[in-house]
Amino acid sequence: MQSYTFNTREELISAVRDHYKQQGVVTTIKRSDSKKGKVIFGCDRSGKYRNRVSLTEDTRQRQTSTRLTECPFEVKGKRQLVDGQESWSVFVVSEEHNHEHGVNLIGHPYVRRLSSEEKTTIHSMSLSGIRPSQMLSYLKEEHGNCNAIRSTIYNELTSIRLEVLDGRTAVDTLLHVLRNGPFEFQVDFRNGCIANIFFSHKKSIELCRRFSTVFLLDCT
């Protein structure tokens, strides 16, 4: 990678990731110091395997040690301040690897990760009731380098749901939305359960009052 300059740390990080991803290398942030304006990238096999729970070769179930090879690959990002204006430059320390690389990364969980832009897209699509399979085809078409698979979308939808629920049940969340949103509503409870619920967007009521000659109802 040649010496490039970026406006922000985020731009630099995503450019470095994309650049090396094309070469079949997954980069990770090894160290980062926001005060000094430094970020150091390694490859995903830069680390050294640490035997944290004293497993022996016999007791360990997975061959974890083989993934980390203390690979020397290293790229640095550094911040400059000129007249209070920050910019970020990339410096290549070493593009050498001590392991095989450049293979197809499709199977690597890292490259399936969604960018924040893709996450936002999924979020707004989920609000419009678009199906996960349609979301996936859209992302593949619109975001050329999206390597997500079905489970990536499902996992994201689950985390959106958990975030929306915020520890509440679905019914509590519904009542919360109705109380805090632009809705007119009425709920009847029987034995602590919802027996009837009516709600309408205030705009719908306004439209109803203005155009009340013909009603088309689609009832479920």
Binding flag, residue 71, Zn ion (CB under 5 A): yes
d(CA 43, CA 28): 6
Give me the phi and psi of 78, to 5 degrees please.
Answer: -135, 140
Strand order in the sheet with 5-6: 5-6, 85-94, 74-82, 38-43, 27-33
The least CB distance from residue 107 to Zn ion, in Å, is 17
The least CB distance from residue 169 to Zn ion, in Å, is 47
The least CB distance from residue 52 to Zn ion, in Å, is 22
89-108 residues in contact with Zn ion (CB under 5 A) are 97
d(CA 22, CA 45): 17
Candidates 29-37, 48-56, 72-80, 211-219: pick the segment binding Zn ion (CB under 5 A). 72-80
Alpha-carbon dihedral sign for residues 165, 168, 169, 174: negative
The least CB distance from residue 43 to Zn ion, in Å, is 3
Give me the phi and psi of 120, to 5 degrees please.
Answer: -60, -40
SS3 145: coil
Candidates 60-68, 73-81, 175-183, 194-202: pick the segment binding Zn ion (CB under 5 A). 73-81
Binding flag, residue 16, Zn ion (CB under 5 A): no
Candidates 6-14, 69-77, 87-95, 140-148: pick the segment binding Zn ion (CB under 5 A). 69-77
* Residue 41 or 73 with smaller CB distance to Zn ion: 73
Q: Which residues pair with 188 in a beta bridge?
A: 196
The least CB distance from residue 62 to Zn ion, in Å, is 20
Q: Which residues pair with 199 in a beta bridge?
A: 185
Q: Which of 6, 20, 41, 73 binds Zn ion (CB under 5 A)?
A: 73
Q: Which of 39, 40, 43, 122 binds Zn ion (CB under 5 A)?
A: 43
d(CA 85, CA 43): 30
Spatial contact of 198 and 185, defined as CB atoms under 8 Å apart: yes
d(CA 123, CA 76): 33
The least CB distance from residue 75 to Zn ion, in Å, is 11
Binding flag, residue 135, Zn ion (CB under 5 A): no
User: How many residues lie near Zn ion (CB under 5 A)?
Assistant: 5
Q: Which residues bind Zn ion (CB under 5 A)?
A: 43, 45, 71, 73, 97
